[in-house]
Each structure stands twice: as structure tokens, then as C-alpha cells.
Amino acid sequence: MRTTELAGNQVPVIGQGTWHMGEQQSARRREVAALQQGIELGLQLIDTAEMYAEGGAEEVVGEAIQGRREQVFLVSKVYPHNASLRGVPAACERSLRRLGTDHLDLYLLHWRGEYPLADTVEAFERLREQGKIRRWGVSNFDVDDLQELQAPACATNQVLYNPEARGIEFDLLPWQQQQGMPLMAYCPIGQAGRLLRNPALLAVAEKHAASAAQVALAWALRQPGVIVIPKAVDPLHLRQNAEAAALRLDDADLAQLDAAYPPPTRKRALEMV
């Protein structure tokens, strides 16, 4: 597995998302097994959030990493409505309890809310001093938010990025690359929707004897400083996602994908789901 630097660690460029895990008791065994299979395949970065199934996804992750905590780079996120000086440590304690661990490797503000950024940052820094989190970062921040944040300690910004949503290439992605701030790309395979049926993606996939999802992942990973966090429960999906790290797209492939999904030529509002 290829790695890149995130928060002072070498992490795999492909991790595992967990949105919609923990929503149904009947799916729990499969979800735990999927996360464990992903760890075995080298997808040791796991992204979760207190929001996902209102703590249910963190519980699934907690079960999956029991006895393997040291193999995993663990990321969780705090709700904006909990992002106050007192709310952050309380939310973090609840996440740690559900995850069955004494620390997070990275704790993100899920999106910007009502509380002053300075309060959230102070709360994150206190947690870092106490060893409850190793580093902190943000999610769904555009360039102006990051400039306002003015925090070299911010380890990452996690945003929507796939061929259907490439507005960040105009300004946010180059800005983060210039600052040396890795970007975590969420929904990298477009939630397995229309993107995976696009003829250009399918043609490039066929050329490489790959799947459309693998092409989408390789496309996001064509540039440095990007980490993708596809969510997969299906064992075949997990294997494909892990193998996508080895897929290299050539100039002709990229031109074909540019024709289907033109790069941005002007500023676009940051897209989110």
C-alpha cells in the first residue's frame, strides 16, 4: 500500500469510511468483518464520526479494532453543535468510550457551525495536551475558512472530491498543497451512484482491466497530498479498493476523464453532502 504523511504519521493513501455503518443491528457482523478485512488489506486508516448512526458507527469501529488498535490510524469528528469549549471534551469522551480506546489519532470539526473557531481550537489543543487526541483538523472548510482559522497545527481538511465534484482543484486543493496540508477526499467513488456508470470512466476501466470505482480512486490519487476514504462492506469492493493504489492513469486516460468531467475554470462554492 502506498503511504503519505498525515499528522506526522505515514498513513495508507486509501482508508476506510464508515458512514451508514451501525444503522442496522442485522448488518453489524458484516460491517465489523469488513473493517477487519480492510485492515488486513492495508486500509488501516479508519474515518468515522459521532454523527454516523448517532454513535453507532463508532461502536462498530470499536468492535472491529479491539485487539488491533495499534495497527489503525483512527479519525473521528465532532458535531458543530458540540464544538464549544465544554462540548468538545465531553463529545470526545463519548467517542473514545464507543471506540474502546484512550486516544484518537485525529479529531476533526465535522463542518463549521455556530461556535467561534478559536474556542474549538482551544478545546482541541487541551485534548492534545491530555493525550486524548494526537492531532486535530477540520472538514468541509473552503479557502476563506482555512485562512480565517490561521492554524498551522490544523493537520487536514476533509472535503468532497471525485470527478463529479472537482471544484476544489481551482483553489482549495492547490492552496492546501502549497501549505503542505494533506486533503482527505470523501465520497471518492460518488457513493456508487451515476459516476460508476459514466462511459468515460468505464472505458478507462476496461483499458486497465479495472473497475470504474478503482479508476475513480486512482484519479483522486493522481496527485500528491491526497488520501481517499471509500466506504465498503462488500468483500469484493474492499479488495478492489485496496488494489486501486497500484493503478496509474496515463495522460490519455486523464484527458478522457477531463472531457467527461471538465476541470473548473473559475471559483465554485465548496460542494458538500
Residues of this chain that interact with ligand NAP (CB under 6 A) are 17-19, 47, 110, 139-140, 158, 186-192, 211, 213, 229-234, 237, 240-241, 273
- Cα distance between residue 204 and residue 195, in whole Å: 13
Q: Report the residue closest to ligand NAP, judged by CB.
A: 17
Q: How far is the CB of 238 from ligand NAP (least distance, A)?
A: 7
Closer residue to ligand NAP in complex, CB, 72/233: 233
Closer residue to ligand NAP in complex, CB, 51/143: 51
Q: How far is the CB of 173 from ligand NAP (least distance, A)?
A: 16
CB-CB contact of 50 with 82 (8 Å): yes
Number of H helices, E strands in the chain: 10, 9
Catalytic residues: 52
Of 260, 259, 237, 252, give the one whose Cα is nearest residue 188. Answer: 237
Q: Residue 263: CA atoms inside 13 Å, Cβ hemisphere, count? A: 10
- Cα distance between residue 227 and residue 232, in whole Å: 16
Q: At what angle do helices 251-260 and 199-207 cross, to 10 degrees?
A: 170
Closer residue to ligand NAP in complex, CB, 89/163: 163
Q: How far is the CB of 135 from ligand NAP (least distance, A)?
A: 16
Burial of 130 (0-12, 13-18, 19+ CB in 10 A): exposed
Closer residue to ligand NAP in complex, CB, 129/247: 247
Q: How far is the CB of 15 from ligand NAP (least distance, A)?
A: 8
